Amino acid sequence: MDILEDLNPRQREAVEAVDGPVLVLAGPGSGKTRVLTHRVAYLIRVCGVPPWQIMAVTFTNKAAREMKDRLHHLIGARLGQLTIGTFHAVCARILRREAQHLGVDSSFVIYDDDDQLGLIKQALKELDLDHRTYQPRAIQGAIRQAKQELVDPDSYVPKTYWHEVARRVYARYQKLLRDNNALDFDDLLMVTAQLFRQHQDVLHKYQRRYSHILVDEFQDTNMAQYQLVKLLAGEHHNLFVVGDEDQSIYRWRGADFRNIQRFRRDFPEAKTILLEQNYRSTQTILDAARHVISRNTQRTDKRLWTEKEGGVPITLVEAYDEQEEAEFVVEEISRLVASGDFSPGDHAVMYRTNAQSRVLEEAFMRHGLPYKLVGATRFYQRREVKDLLAYLRLIHNPFDQVSLSRVINVPPRGIGPKTLGWIQSLADRRQVPIYTALQLVKEAAEEQASRSNEEADTPAYRPQMATFSGRGGNALLGFLSLLDSWIAVRDEKRVHELLDRVIQDTGYEAHLRDGTPEGEDRWENVQELRRVAMEYAELPPAEGLASFLEEVALVSDVDNLDEKVDAPTLLTLHAAKGLEFPVVFIVGMEEGLFPHSRSFDDPEAMEEERRLCYVGITRAKERVYLIYTFRRAMYASSEECEPSRFLHDIPQHLIQGPGDLMGRGAPAPIARGPARRQPLPRATSAPGYKPGDRVEHPAFGEGVVISSRPAGDDEELEIAFVGRGIKRILASYVWPCK
């Protein structure tokens, strides 16, 4: 039975526990994906469960894809009969099939965060509410939270007057969604749960269909997701969940790791299996991570162990500021690569906030080294991509008002707020969507034209027409005829051909390529989108458009991480979950940054920061570098920093510092002797510059010193660089010009 062969006893137990509920608590690197895939294969090949009776849900498309890839080796073509996907994708599929029970059309569109925010703003406007008191973002948060707890506007119990207003906005927002035949991300879950609760027959159908349910990253489920799987498994209880409380880092998005406890309570007969053998890291790394996480209260203690005993100590580094921090990282990576032990792609640099990536990027660029950046602005969130997708959504469904108002004046075609407001109010008066209102205007205009010879001045027509005669009206008609011309060919043209037509007819290319480098970047993104569209060229046109739109709605990040490129990866700690690297640098280990200051007054938030640190450290296979700075630029000013409390939790014997570089005593507060305050061994000690001195900088080239002031043991110079303007730079970064 090859399926069980390469599993350790615990993993094997998890795979073989076929009947009833099973909870697998899987530490980092303990092979949970392996357990999941092998269990599916075991169910099919050994227990004879038909593949179509198995549902496996994940949180990310990436996880789903990885699972499919691995399963392909184990079960081959039968893979296609399994239901594997994200919660949202699985729910969307169910909802399209059961649309008749729901008051939505099965062609509903899925709104993302931006669309959602737009609709909330509209709701606020319609209710005549002040957007300063009722900030759209805050309202959005309240609505999302409610939906994740399966609370609809009618059952919403406001805690404060503000929440009462939020409830009203919520109700209005839901109506707007329905008017647009749209669901937002959270609806996919909430509406599915409602469907199951209100239609027992439908629920039974799915309960019978899926005899085995598996859930990955169970600690990240929210209430809605938990209720969903609980409902689905309500009859047979064959629910297999894998999770790790210590890696729960999405509390702020509604994830509730207490679902693990709930699971134990709701399924008391559940078998619990601990996976504690780690196949990733050295013992040193595991020990350090355990010391950090063990200060958390609400957790099951696990003792991770590995056969990779010992290992290199954790390296702790103090840098003068974020520049030097970045410089250290880049140089250390270069050194490790030069030593021959590691290749560039073995390294990851992790940080708490995206803003920290910039300095790092600059350092890599200065050294002429390539790097991979994860996250930042996501592809499908870029303006140009969203614009073009809105056009396509509009072609697919011209009644989608959110998409319509997004693009009706992009590129600018003379339809400003006034004209938009006019057509909107016409639509409201007639109780029709804007698209229909546009058609009414067109009919009226045609009628007027045909009468223009003799009867144009008939009093009955004049007042109605007067309003849209002129620029606004013509612009609207122009837009409508564009849209209609695309709709006319919608079922013949393939997605990328439609895209080309839109770009062509709207002059979108010229709109983007305004001569700036950013414009070129944007145009490049359009090309990328076109490449994605090309992948749907095989399908019949109408189907191609529909599945393209579904796919891009639910696949936000194009998992752009290109495995083939051999370069260091820059990413947030959150983005690092689920990944592993031989060498991990965690930068910005300072109080206020990591842990973030927002967590100071909330013990639960602080525990989450701690878990985040745990996740970061456990990504490493061989080496970990923890770096903090003496001072860091915050917005405009630069502030002195305190080393992160998490550093104190790692026992001294696991740590190695470059000599007395860090005046650090454990376990007491980090002793920072007054001695070491200067930037590190970079250029020889600052010689003392005065205005007029000529200096050279590795990136900016030659410049002239304008002013100088002491900064610690270093000095901060204002330098005018040839063609680069004036920069403030530490003396140790420049060399005197001979």
Partner DNA sequence: CTGGTGACAGTTTTT
Partner DNA sequence: CTGTCACCAG
List residues with catalytic annotation: 32-33, 216-217, 247, 619
Q: What is the largest CA-CA distance in the chain?
A: 98
Kindly state the smallest distance separating residue 493's Cβ from DNA, in Å.
27
Number of residues that bind DNA (CB under 7 A): 49
Q: Mark the segment that binds DNA (CB under 7 A) among 20-28, 57-65, 271-279, 649-657.
A: 57-65
Tell me which residue of 258, 248, 235 sits closest to 59, measured CA to CA: 248
Please answer whether residues 134 and 169 qualify as being in contact, where contact means their C-beta atoms are separated by less than 8 angstroms. yes
Q: From the list 22, 36, 89, 434, which residue makes contact with DNA (rule: CB under 7 A)? A: 89
Q: How many CA atoms lie within 13 A of 467 on its CB side?
A: 13
CA dihedral 426, 432, 434, 437 (to 10 degrees): -60
Query: Cα(407)–Cα(334) distance, rounded to whole angstroms?
Result: 47
Kindly state the smallest distance separating residue 253's Cβ from DNA, in Å.
4
Does residue 86 belong to the site contacting DNA (CB under 7 A)? yes
Q: How many CA atoms lie within 13 A of 716 on its CB side?
A: 11
**Other residues' Cβ atoms within 10 Å of the Cβ of residue 132:** 6
- Nearer to DNA by Cβ, of 115 and 400: the residue is 115
Please state the φ and ψ torsions of residue 364, each to the nearest 5 degrees: -60, -40
Q: Mark the segment that binds DNA (CB under 7 A) among 59-67, 431-439, 450-458, 581-589.
A: 59-67
Would you give the binding string for DNA spanning residues 585-624, x where CB under 7 A is met? Answer: -----------x-xx-----x---x---------------
Query: Cα(57)–Cα(271) distance, rounded to whole angstroms?
Result: 20
Query: Cα(371)–Cα(344) distance, rounded to whole angstroms?
Result: 9
Residues 555-574 that bind DNA (CB under 7 A): 555-557, 572, 574
Query: Cα(193)–Cα(196) distance, rounded to whole angstroms?
Result: 5
Q: Mark the segment that binds DNA (CB under 7 A) among 250-258, 271-279, 433-441, 676-684.
A: 250-258
Q: Is 18 strand, coil or helix? A: coil
Residue that is written with structure tokens 């223009």 in the block: 452
Does residue 145 belong to the site contacting DNA (CB under 7 A)? no
Residues 254-313 that bind DNA (CB under 7 A): 254-255
- Nearer to DNA by Cβ, of 636 and 675: the residue is 636
Residues 100-119 that bind DNA (CB under 7 A): 113
Q: From the list 375, 519, 657, 663, which residue makes contact with DNA (rule: CB under 7 A)? A: 375
Kindly state the smallest distance separating residue 360's Cβ from DNA, in Å.
14
Query: Cα(312)–Cα(274) distance, rounded to whole angstroms?
Result: 27
* Mutual angle of helices 471-488 and 383-396, in 10-degree steps: 70
The sign one gets for the Cα dihedral 356, 360, 366, 369 is negative
Query: Cα(73)–Cα(67) distance, rounded to whole angstroms?
Result: 10
Q: From the list 197, 204, 378, 513, which residue makes contact with DNA (rule: CB under 7 A)? A: 378
Residue type, 133: T
Does residue 88 belong to the site contacting DNA (CB under 7 A)? yes
Kindly state the smallest distance separating residue 590's Cβ from DNA, in Å.
14
Does residue 658 belong to the site contacting DNA (CB under 7 A)? no
Kindly state the smallest distance separating residue 93's Cβ from DNA, in Å.
11
- What tokens does 568 get? 């260091």
Please answer whether residues 458 and 464 qualify as being in contact, where contact means their C-beta atoms are separated by less than 8 angstroms. no
Measured at the alpha carbon of residue 280, what is the angle toward residues 216 and 647, in degrees to the nearest 5?
95
Would you give the binding string for DNA spanning residues 163-192, x where CB under 7 A is met? Answer: ----------------------x-------
- Nearer to DNA by Cβ, of 315 and 354: the residue is 354
Does residue 523 belong to the site contacting DNA (CB under 7 A)? no
Does residue 250 belong to the site contacting DNA (CB under 7 A)? yes
Does residue 60 belong to the site contacting DNA (CB under 7 A)? yes
R_g of the chain computed on alpha carbons: 30
Residue 141: burial class (beta carbons within 10 Å; 0-12, 13-18, 19+): middle
**Other residues' Cβ atoms within 10 Å of the Cβ of residue 226:** 22
Kindly state the smallest distance separating residue 226's Cβ from DNA, in Å.
12
Does residue 217 belong to the site contacting DNA (CB under 7 A)? yes
- Nearer to DNA by Cβ, of 402 and 575: the residue is 575
Q: Helices (DSSP H) in 367-470: which residue ranges?
A: 383-396, 401-407, 417-430, 434-451, 462-466
Query: Cα(705)–Cα(690) distance, rounded to whole angstroms?
Result: 7
Q: Of all residues in the chain, what percent are helix, strand and coil, respectively (each to 5)?
A: 50, 15, 35
- What tokens does 526 get? 């359009």
Kindly state the smallest distance separating residue 310's Cβ from DNA, in Å.
33
Q: Is 174 strand, coil or helix? A: helix
Tell me which residue of 237, 218, 223 sits closest to 189, measured CA to CA: 223
Kindly state the smallest distance separating residue 9's Cβ from DNA, in Å.
29
Query: Cα(223)–Cα(148) distance, rounded to whole angstroms?
Result: 6
- Nearer to DNA by Cβ, of 575 and 670: the residue is 575
Q: From the list 301, 635, 668, 690, which residue makes contact with DNA (rule: CB under 7 A)? A: 635
- What tokens does 536 get? 């749907």
Measured at the alpha carbon of residue 734, what is the angle toward residues 729 and 738, in degrees to the nearest 5?
140
Kindly state the smallest distance separating residue 491's Cβ from DNA, in Å.
27
- What tokens does 198 get? 């209100």
347-380 core/surface letters (b: 16 or more CB in 10 A; e: else): bbbbbbebebbebbeebbeebeeebbbbeeeebb
Q: Mark the segment that binds DNA (CB under 7 A) among 253-261, 319-327, 385-393, 664-672.
A: 253-261
- Nearer to DNA by Cβ, of 252 and 485: the residue is 252
Kindly state the smallest distance separating residue 405's Cβ from DNA, in Å.
12
Residues 462-491 that bind DNA (CB under 7 A): 471-472
Please state the φ and ψ torsions of residue 367, each to the nearest 5 degrees: -90, 0
Kindly state the smallest distance separating residue 86's Cβ from DNA, in Å.
4
- Nearer to DNA by Cβ, of 609 and 622: the residue is 609
- Nearer to DNA by Cβ, of 62 and 199: the residue is 62
Does residue 636 belong to the site contacting DNA (CB under 7 A)? yes
Query: Cα(63)–Cα(58) distance, rounded to whole angstroms?
Result: 6
Does residue 554 belong to the site contacting DNA (CB under 7 A)? yes
- Nearer to DNA by Cβ, of 10 and 522: the residue is 522
Does residue 12 belong to the site contacting DNA (CB under 7 A)? no
Q: Mark the segment that binds DNA (CB under 7 A) among 10-18, 207-215, 231-239, 416-424.
A: 416-424
Does residue 55 belong to the site contacting DNA (CB under 7 A)? no
Kindly state the smallest distance separating residue 664's Cβ from DNA, in Å.
26
Residue that is written with structure tokens 């709605």 in the block: 553
Does residue 236 belong to the site contacting DNA (CB under 7 A)? no
Does residue 205 belong to the site contacting DNA (CB under 7 A)? no
Q: Mark the segment that binds DNA (CB under 7 A) among 226-234, 432-440, 493-501, 548-556.
A: 548-556
Q: From the list 419, 618, 644, 708, which residue makes contact with DNA (rule: CB under 7 A)? A: 419
Tell me which residue of 11, 36, 475 sits closest to 277, measured CA to CA: 11
Does residue 409 belong to the site contacting DNA (CB under 7 A)? yes
Would you give the binding string for DNA spanning residues 325-354, x where CB under 7 A is met? Answer: ---------------------------xxx
Residues that bind DNA (CB under 7 A): 59-62, 86, 88-89, 113, 131, 185, 217, 220, 250, 252-255, 352-355, 375, 378, 409, 412-420, 471-472, 554-557, 572, 574-575, 596, 598-599, 605, 609, 635-636
